Structure 1
Amino acid sequence: MFKSFFLDRRWFLWSIVGSAIILYVTWYKVQIDVEVNEWFGSFYDLIQKALAKPNAVTFDEFLAGCIEFFNIVSVYIIIAVILDFFVRHYVFRWRTAMNDYYMKHWDKISHIEGASQRVQEDTMRFARIVESLGVSFMRSLMTLVAFLPILWTLSENVTELPWIGSVDRSLVYLAIISALFGTVLLAIVGIRLPGLEFKNQKVEAAYRKELVFGEDNAHRAKPETVKDLFFNVRKNYFNLYRHYLYFDIAKWSYIQYTVIVPYIALGPAIISGALTLGVLQQILRAFGKVEESFQFLVHSWSTIVELMSIYKRLRAFEVQINDAIDVESIPVE
């Protein structure tokens, strides 16, 4: 899954250089996010000034603030489009590397149930998901590095928390605690999902295989056999749906309810008038970025579950290939 792409000299430019390009551009996008956060502060202070006193701000000043945002996000849009185009080619090259490796050893893995589907579909899904998760994880780290100092500095404006009292740099600790709570909660609730996803692919493969045999053999895919196989598919899907119901209740409850948390924390500072509208927007946005970075597992758990099931299936390929190679390397006496 990895060595066929990252350890093969044929793919050096795409695997190593391409990964470096993706990471660098991702970092640059984070820096643009920082610029946008600074813009929020100055622009909303301008709005507060305009709302406080009629004609205190001219339309040209207001328009200049809007144009500044337009200039910042225009660069972001161009970079995002080019990066997405590059990533699609990157993922296909990775899929090609895996496809070439597995087809080279096809004689050793063709007997595995659903082998053709794994090579055709799982290689594509694995490359796409790993790239997506990898970039998301690195972006979370980069965002954390960029916004944590900003939130740390802005937390100086918040000297008191409701019901708790004075806590130095309280917003930073609140973001960490909130994210850790959500991560642990969803990990516990969704602990059985990877195994169910893996089992789901097995029963699907058995059902599909019988139907394929039935296309060429009149004695296969009999109604009784197909009915039993589809019953297994139905049973596993319903079991999977039930566990995703628990998971989704916990996930969406956590994501929606925590939206109000920073507002409650900032309540005393807002009521006392210690914050301007611009500073408030900067704090809320920086808090959201830091919290989102710590919530990487929360937002990615469903994708991680899917990746784990794909990894198990492709790992079975590689175990068979390595075992066969080991047998072939044993000298014959």
Structure 2
Amino acid sequence: MFHSFFPKPKLFFTSGALWSIICIIVWYTVGPQLGAAVGLPPLAPGEKPPIGLAYFFTPDNLWFYLYFTIFVAIFGGAWKIIARDHPWVNWSIWGSAFIIFIAYFAVQASVALNNWRGPFFDLLQDALAGKPGITTTQFYTLQLRFLEIGFVGVTLNVVTAFFTNHYVFRWRTAMNDFYMSKWDKLRHIEGASQRVQEDTMRFANILEGLGVTLINSVMTLVVFLPLLFNMSQHVADLPIIGAVPHALFWLAIAWSLFGTALLALAGIKLPGLNFKNQRVEAAYRKELVYGEDHADRAQPVTVRELFGNVRRNYFRMYWHYLYFNIARYSYGQLDAIFLNFILIPTFVAGKITMGIWQQIATAFGEVSNSFQYLVNYWSTIIELLSIHKRLKAFEAAISDEPLPDIDQRYLERGAAEDAQPA
């Protein structure tokens, strides 16, 4: 699944993670000083970023684009030397880097939109309060800035969808080519054709959505956590607890980790059940396929037993999904009111404007949703894990490793059928 597309995947991903951490640490420690040294300094203390398209071309953002390019060139250049003979090295290295960059740029579009919310909703609050000096020109100008940000967002969505489609299909191509090159070892395994055709397709399609979302979540945390840390200065007191320094920052992390742990615990059995479900479905389907060509196959007793296995596994899944959904939807309902509940003392004290509230709500929501990646996509992750299990069992035959018992039984049955005269 991975070594067909990525060079030395364990080392590649480990080195990529370590290199990313180094890049982030350097950026948040000496990054501003380095930017100032090359003539691209950060905003001065108290200076507000421009609103609209101009935000993407501020000196500090231009410095980040250059910074990112330099660090990616170093990492990619080293791996080009290490894995010069790998057939997919360009897509796996440079393609991955491009996806990470456009994910970061998409997060920057969210930051630009959040910068727009402050002045717009403050202006709206003043207009509704009947304050003098509010003009239609001010509103139209801010709407134009909103359209500029929206145009960037649309462009990013189109580019992301188009490029990731090609990227993931090439990953699927790499898996397909690898499995077909080992077909002699794989052809007798239960559902071999399905695993090569359908499972690789589903693996690629699910990974496309989950992978891009995961990268967006990480980039969102990198960008919005510092913003939320600074915005916490507006919230001095919390219900029951009282004063907590940088309260929103710590609450977003704690609340999201609680939800993630809750859903992971509630859904711990689901990947295995989904995996078993694919197997009992495959066994039932395979017997029906044999019944199309052989009169002695797909007999009522055999089919009834195989479908009974399907039925039992589905009913077991329905039970486990019952309490999983209770936990998921209950947490989602509480999550909808959590921030406003926390901000009630701040609202009553009149310490924030509508614009600041909108910015806090956006930053808190972005951080919370990013930390709740497992919460939001647990059902899809379960499906991906079950497919991963099937493909891992599939690849065991390539490495001459022992197959799971159920695969071993089908392998022996397939060999016996091939030995029978036509």
What does residue 6 of structure 1 align with? 6
What does residue 195 of structure 2 align with? 118
Quote the offset at 1:44 in angstroms: 0.4
Which structure has more helix as a fraction of its residues?
1
1:307 aligns with 2:402: no
* Contact 2:283/2:306 (8 A) holds in 1: yes
- Aligned amino acid, residue 16 of structure 1: I
What is the root-mean-square deviation in Å for CA atoms of aligned residues?
Answer: 1.3
- Aligned amino acid, residue 168 of structure 1: P
1-side partners of 2:218 and 2:167: how far apart?
22
2-side partners of 1:54 and 1:296: how far apart?
43
What does residue 284 of structure 1 align with? 361
Paired residue secondary structure (1:323): coil
Quote the offset at 1:292 in angstroms: 1.0
What does residue 163 of structure 2 align with? 86
1:102 aligns with 2:179: yes
2-side partners of 1:91 and 1:167: how far apart?
45
2-side partners of 1:121 and 1:45: how far apart?
53
Quote the offset at 1:315 in angstroms: 0.7
1-side partners of 2:397 and 2:116: how far apart?
56
Deviations 1:137-163 (A, max 9, x none): 221111111111111111101110111
What does residue 118 of structure 2 align with? 41
Quote the offset at 1:129 in angstroms: 2.5
What does residue 244 of structure 1 align with? 321
- Aligned amino acid, residue 79 of structure 1: L
Equivalences for residues 195-274 of structure 1 within 5 A: 195-274=272-351
Deviations 1:257-301 (A, max 9, x none): 112111111111111111110001101111111111111111121
2-side partners of 1:75 and 1:148: how far apart?
23
1:24 aligns with 2:113: no
- Aligned amino acid, residue 304 of structure 1: I
Identity of aligned residues (%): 56
What does residue 328 of structure 1 align with? none
Paired residue secondary structure (1:9): coil
Quote the offset at 1:115 in angstroms: 0.9
* Contact 2:172/2:201 (8 A) holds in 1: yes
2-side partners of 1:59 and 1:43: how far apart?
12
* Contact 1:39/1:69 (8 A) holds in 2: yes
2-side partners of 1:131 and 1:2: how far apart?
14
Quote the offset at 1:189 in angstroms: 0.7
Quote the offset at 1:55 in angstroms: 5.5
1-side partners of 2:166 and 2:115: how far apart?
34
Deviations 1:151-205 (A, max 9, x none): 1111101110111111111111111111111111111111100110111011001
Paired residue secondary structure (1:6): coil
**TM-score, length-scaled by structure 2:** 0.75
* Contact 1:180/1:295 (8 A) holds in 2: yes
2-side partners of 1:305 and 1:181: how far apart?
19
What does residue 243 of structure 2 align with? 166
2-side partners of 1:13 and 1:58: how far apart?
54
Name which structure has the greater RCO, CA cutoff 8 Å, separation 6+. 1
1-side partners of 2:271 and 2:314: how far apart?
13
2-side partners of 1:214 and 1:122: how far apart?
24
Q: How many residues align?
A: 324
**TM-score, length-scaled by structure 1:** 0.94
- Aligned amino acid, residue 6 of structure 1: F
* Contact 1:48/1:277 (8 A) holds in 2: yes
* Contact 2:165/2:208 (8 A) holds in 1: no
1-side partners of 2:132 and 2:203: how far apart?
58
2-side partners of 1:253 and 1:12: how far apart?
45
* Contact 2:274/2:382 (8 A) holds in 1: yes
What does residue 327 of structure 1 align with? none
What does residue 217 of structure 2 align with? 140
Query: Which of 325, 329, 352 pairs up with 1:275?
Result: 352
1:68 aligns with 2:145: yes
- Aligned amino acid, residue 95 of structure 2: G
- In structure 2, runs of 5+ residues without a counterpart are 8-84, 402-422
Quote the offset at 1:101 in angstroms: 0.7
- Aligned amino acid, residue 372 of structure 2: Q
What does residue 331 of structure 1 align with? none
- Aligned amino acid, residue 223 of structure 2: A
Greater mean deviation of Cα atoms: 120-129 or 40-49: 120-129
* Contact 1:49/1:56 (8 A) holds in 2: no
Greater mean deviation of Cα atoms: 166-175 or 50-59: 50-59
- Aligned amino acid, residue 36 of structure 1: L
What does residue 407 of structure 2 align with? none
